Structure 1
Amino acid sequence: MQKLYETSQSISFQSQEKEKVEAGYQEKIDGYWLTSLADLAMSADLAKKTGVPATIDPARQEEIVRKALEIAKRWQEQGKPQETYGRIYRYLLFLDPKNEEYEKTAQRLLRQAILISMYVPDPNQDSVSWQERREGVSFDIVQTALNITAAKYVEEPNFQEMTEKALECCRIIAETPQLGVTFEKIRDPNAAQSYAAKIDELITQVKAAAPEQIGYFQVLQYLGYVIGINRDTLQLPLNVLMAEFTEGAYSTLDGYTYVIWPGDVTEFQKDMTNEFAGVGIVIKKKDNYPAVDSLLEDSPAQRAGLDADDLIVAVNGKSTANISLEAAVRRITGEAGTDVVLTIDREGFDKPRDFTLTRDWIVVQTIKGLYRDEQGEWQYFADPEEGIAYVRLTNFSNETTSRFRNLLQQLQGQNMRGLVLDLRNNSGGFLSTAVEIANSFLSGGTIVSTRSRNNEITGEDKARPDNLVDGRVPLVVLINGISASASEIVSGCLKDNQRALVVGTRSYGKGSVQTIQTIRPTQAQMKITIAYYYLPSGRRVHRNPQDKDSEDYGVEPDVAVELTGSQMIEMEKLRRDAGILHQNGSDKDTAAARTVYTAQEILKVDPQLRMALLCLKSRLLAEAMGANPALEEVLAQSKNKQK
């Protein structure tokens, strides 16, 4: 008997080892095919942008796609929607953006990943609970939001499509077994199947209806039907069901129109305004703890002696091990004037030390230079000898205009002869701020106009001479595929008015205007697109998401400079490192090890910035010689394109 037991144990051990080895090999094989898929997608995207055909064997491409789909099927069976979307379907859509099956599967996987992230707690991580995020969700909020949408949305809402998508999102809940950890009835196959079947009946009804039969009131009726089905089957909390129904409905619109639930309002306002009550640090994850990535200027953290790379091992005495960054932010931030104790571990410390900081109102700076010097001050001249300055705007917030104009005047006093305005990766901000920034370089002419539903003109902003700061300095604006909204207003208007040369890649194509409305008497808010904006040339830069072949969107650069994936990664890493704010001084307890970069090092990894400087130097040289035929030709070509 003992011999039989030992033999069975040996076989079991060998079987476990074999499974482990096989899983390891399978992971390596999967990694090879998925790396090939990513390379294939990036090559196809670069070929599309540059117009140079990718030299890829069609048979090899077909094999890579086939293998990727096999892995996707296996991963979906294993319950890995986030990995399947992020590593497979995202790239498949790069290769074949019109493939409806890819698009449908990608949307479902993404929705499942969002549901799991929201409702399934990670046992290895302390994060913000779904109960906090969904607190205050109510039927009245949904009703008011739909009413606002019917009256104000920039297009006539398709309520039939909104209802169908809302129902589909509710159905996906039953198709996501991981949610059974939180919602017990999802583990009951009879309840899940009954719920899904009844939702399918509703979807069939909606599809069969005439579009004019479904208005916003009917959307609410179908929400009521779903609530009844849920009561008899899955018994999900009503706030969860209403939130998922609503988010599904609004996913059919432009992506910028949605409800901000009461539990999300504080974080939303912080993102919108770049202002919050806290201690003034940017945090990252390091060794399973939050750590200081960078200090913010003139903040409680800087004054208290915190430094970049400090490990935050506790907040108010509570350990931060395995805490999510979102949860860490919520613990550290709070009302201005209140204290928070951060326990800091740092190289050179014998043991962690407590730092007591008084929270203050923090305004995140949106204006950056090329790099920080040893004292932590931004350096704004990319070429001091030629007098070429560099200014980067990361967002168009309330404080941007005054700081930007003050900086321009400061640079003028330092004999600035040319300026590079970097709007790359700037996704926008306030329309009024964009108008003011553009007006800083213009003495007259149209900056932007807006039109609402039915193409009705709702506003037009013109440059005013009294707002001009510098109408003569040669100007180059840098943009890329993430430059959007307010960035497109500034770059497009300066291009159309022939005030600046635009360098980089085509911008994102978000030419829409949003307004934010509180849904009273609750704290919930509604962000809704109410208009499209048009450049001085009359072009609408907004990209039609339904027309994936169109190249008529965004701002097209006068001088196109494409970057490879590796170039973008290298450039962004150095740019980020060059902007980290450390403590001043050489005391090992208060100053982390740092590298001070030079303009030459940054230019070396940034081909677009190098091109911008070349254009400005050419302009300055030509002006010194009395003519600038090369630049005049580029501007003439730009003007002809606009006609």
Structure 2
Amino acid sequence: MIVLLVGIVAGQGLVIADEVSRTEVKTDDPALTDEQKKEYFELFKLFADTIDQVERNYVKPIDRRELVEAAIRGLTAELDPYSNYISPQEIDSFRSGIDSEFGGIGIQVTIERGRLTIISPLAGTPAYEAGLMAGDSIIEIEGESTDGISLDQAVRQMKGKVGTPVTITLQRARTGKRESFTLKRELIRIETVLGDTRDEQDRWKYLYDGTEKIGYIRITAFSRHTVRDLRKAFKELTSQGFRGLVLDLRYNPGGLLSSAVEVSDMFISSGVIVSTEGRNTKKRVWKAVRADTFQGFPMVVLVNEYSASASEIVAACLQDHGRAVVIGTRTWGKGSVQNVVELEDGKSALKLTTASYQRPSGKNIHRFYGATKEDQWGVHPDDGYVVELEDKEEEDYLKYRRSRDIVKGKAQPAADTENSSEQSREAVEETPVKSEVEDGQGEKNGDGSQEVSPVREDSNSEPSPDNDEEETVEETSNEQTEFQDRVLAKAFEYLREQIVEFVQK
């Protein structure tokens, strides 16, 4: 389950990134007594003296900044899994994760049989336009061999300033031919609103069942662009006359609070969406407005144990207002809000838990340390709609899902398609997967519980550089086509009944 946990345990959490520049940090509290101020002074003197002693007398020379940053990390480690220090080396990756944007060529990669392999190009990116395809191996980056390279190293080399070039050499999966490409990096935006499959132009199809007119939309994270893209998807569904909707939030680790609020507001016309309150922050309540509300159709929200934070806000809101039935398994249980405080004029930052949020019903969502299954936390599926998958079934679903997400890419020139009947190598095995945006995510995000905080881990497959065998498999093998998503099937069962009732009314 490495690939699955990668996105979750290091998930973004619920971030009020919009308030970064407006965050006020109290440095002088008039309520402090003279005795408390004296104690503060003594403690800071203790810290400064310790740093000084280590810097001057430790057996080996050590950089002062390393000491200070280590001290800050030690401080945040005493708080909760979601508060952490973001260093100058990590700040750009952190912002990329929040915005779902970065400078790159637009591919998802993995290490497969010791080779850096393309899982999928991202539609509309330089890699896609150049004809890079799923299964192609990247054997050189800027003239340097990728033998033994880690995913992090590869991602760092391919990412860069927008407008700058990067040269990569491929070995084609279908022909074995070597080709070099010099691609200009562009601003790559990671899609967070997805359908089930793509059409011939590699655009997402949101109408899952054309006969019964059931729409299907996956939200993989809540970014700045999620609401805009969701409205586009609804415009397409509306033009196709959809009659019911599945909103899939499984494996969604969270994102921006503002995005979760806006998504919720799209489906309810009045009432509380969510409220937040902290020790040093005023209580804030977000309420729905009637304008531009999507109504008049039955709706289902799919969740699982890896749906967390912002996705729990949406699921809880729609459930509490009776707007949607929640199907799947109990969610992760993260009900805290992190604020991003800029340090060093924006060169570094502190992601700090400053508040907790409450669902409209007032029920608790946060899973506190030591919480049991019997305690109240997370979002429970509606009665009669719990669908639990076995571990093997979940692994099969992830492989099936990833295989359907692969962008085939633009057709290669005739010289590259001599064996056009062959299929690309399978690139959906349970191996670590990265897109360029995922570089460094393990440090910047937190969306787990006290017991296990979801963290991105990278581990390479067993290297086998001498193994040149090209395994070819059908892209839609029997295992894939026969896989039955029982959670989705339950959603369709419910929607069919509700659509009939809507028609009768």
Q: Which amino acid aligns with 2:286?
A: D
* Residues 364-392 of structure 1: CA deviation (Å, up to 9, x unaligned): 11111112345433232332221111110
Q: Evaluate the alpha carbon distance shift between residue 480 and residue 588 of structure 1 in structure 2; reply closer, same or farther with a 3 A threshold.
A: farther
Q: 1:446 aligns with which of 257, 272, 277?
A: 272
Identity over aligned residues, as a percent? 35
**Match of 1:460, as an amino acid?**
V
Say if 2:120 is the partner of 1:290: no
1:313-332 per-position Cα deviation (integer Å, ceiling 9, x unaligned): 11111222111111111111
Superposition map of 1:476-495 within 5 A: 476-495=300-319
**Cα pair distance change 1:613/1:596, threshold 3 Å:** farther
TM-score (norm 1): 0.61
2:149 paired residue among 312, 323, 338:
323
Q: Which residue of 1 aligns with 2:388?
A: 562
1:406 aligns with: 232
Matches of 1:569 and 1:330 in 2, distance apart? 29
Q: Could you say if the C-alpha distance between residues 246 and 415 of structure 1 is closer, same or farther in structure 2, counting changes exceeding 3 Å? A: same
Return the alpha-carbon distance in structure 1 between the equivalents of residues 28 and 168 of structure 2.
48
Aligned match for 1:613, one of 485, 492, 501: 492
| Equivalence for 1:334 | 160
| Among 346, 350, 357, the residue aligned to 1:526 | 350
Could you say what secondary structure the match of 2:496 adopts?
helix
Structure ranking higher in strand proportion:
2
Q: Give the whole-Å Cα distance in 1 for the aligned partners of 2:481 and 2:176.
A: 37
Matched, 1:232 2:54: no
SS in 2 for 1:262: coil
CA contact (8 A) 2:128 2:410 kept: no
Q: Residue in 2 aligned with 1:462?
A: 287
Q: Which residue of 2 aligns with 1:100?
A: none
How far is the alpha carbon of 1:522 from its aligned partner? 5.9
1:504 and 2:331 are equivalent in the alignment: no
In structure 2, the gaps of 5 or more residues are 6-23, 30-35, 425-473
Compute the RMSD of aligned alpha carbons. Answer: 3.1
Q: Is the 8 A contact 1:278 1:334 kept in 2?
A: yes
Where 1:237 maps in the other structure, the secondary structure is coil
1:407-422 matches, within 5 Å, as 407-422=233-248
8 Å CA contact 2:297, 2:499 repeated in 1: no
The one of 363, 385, 392 aligned to 2:211? 385
Amino acid in structure 2 at the alignment position of 1:531: A
Query: Highest CA radius of gyration, 1 or 2?
Result: 1
Residues 443 and 419 (structure 1 numbering): CA distance in 2 closer, same or farther, change over 3 Å? same
Asked if 1:573 is matched to 2:399, the reply is yes
| CA–CA separation in structure 1 for the residues paired with 2:121 and 2:74 | 38
Q: Which runs of 5+ in 1 are unaligned?
A: 1-37, 39-85, 91-146, 153-210, 627-643
Give the distance between the partners of 1:292 and 1:580, measured in 2 at CA.
Answer: 10
Partner of 2:366: 542
User: Which residue in the other structure is 2:18 paired with?
Assistant: none
- Tell me, what secondary structure is at the counterpart of 1:466? coil
Residue 397 of structure 1: how far off its partner (Å): 0.6
Distance change (3 Å), C-alpha of 1:408 and 1:521: closer
CA contact (8 A) 2:131 2:411 kept: no
User: CA contact under 8 A between 2:140 and 2:169: conserved in structure 1?
Assistant: yes
- Contact 2:304/2:330, CA 8 A, preserved across alignment: yes
Which structure carries more relative contact order (alpha carbon 8 Å, separation 6+)? 2
CA distance in 2 between partners of 1:254 and 1:534 (Å)? 19
Q: Answer yes or no: is the 8 Å Cα contact 1:150–1:216 preserved in 2.
A: no
Give the Cα–Cα distance (whole angstroms) in 2 for the partners of residues 589 and 304 of structure 1: 13
Per the TM alignment, residue 549 of structure 1 is displaced from its structure 2 partner at its CA by 5.7
Contact 1:223 1:245 in 2 (8 A): no
Aligned with 2:259 (options 417, 433, 439):
433
Residues in 2 aligned to 1:223 and 1:573: alpha-carbon distance in whole angstroms: 52
